[in-house]
């Protein structure tokens, strides 16, 4: 029964992550885990900075000039 609960929890987290990515919302927890694992010597952005950076990357902020 415990494994079933863990599998359901994992599936739920994946579905939430997929839904957020489909709507264009970045996944801060995944970013933090990636940074800890692959770049432990680099600072991790706080949520507000991370969100702003992802929005700029998606929509061409900071003078990027995306037209659509």
pLDDT digits (tens, 9 = 90+) for 49-64: 998 888 888 787 765 5
Domain extent listing, the chain: 2-59
Mean pLDDT of the chain: 85
Between 10 and 23, the more confident residue is 10
Q: Estimate the crossing angle of helix 28-38 against helix 47-59, to 10 degrees.
A: 100
pLDDT at 35: 95
Listed residue (59, 45, 51) closest to 20, CA to CA: 51
Cα–Cα dist 1/8, whole Å: 11
Please provide the distance, in angstroms rounded to a whole number, between the alpha carbons at the two ends of the chain.
Answer: 49
Between 24 and 10, the more confident residue is 10
Examine the pLDDT at 10 and tell me if it is beyond 80: yes
């Amino acid at each position: 029964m415990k494994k079933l609960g863990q599998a359901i929890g994992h599936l739920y987290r994946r579905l939430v992550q997929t839904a957020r990515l489909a709507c264009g919302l970045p996944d801060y927890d995944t970013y933090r885990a990636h940074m800890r694992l692959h770049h432990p010597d680099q600072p991790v952005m706080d949520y507000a900075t991370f969100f702003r950076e992802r929005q700029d990357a998606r929509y061409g902020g900071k003078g990027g000039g995306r037209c659509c």
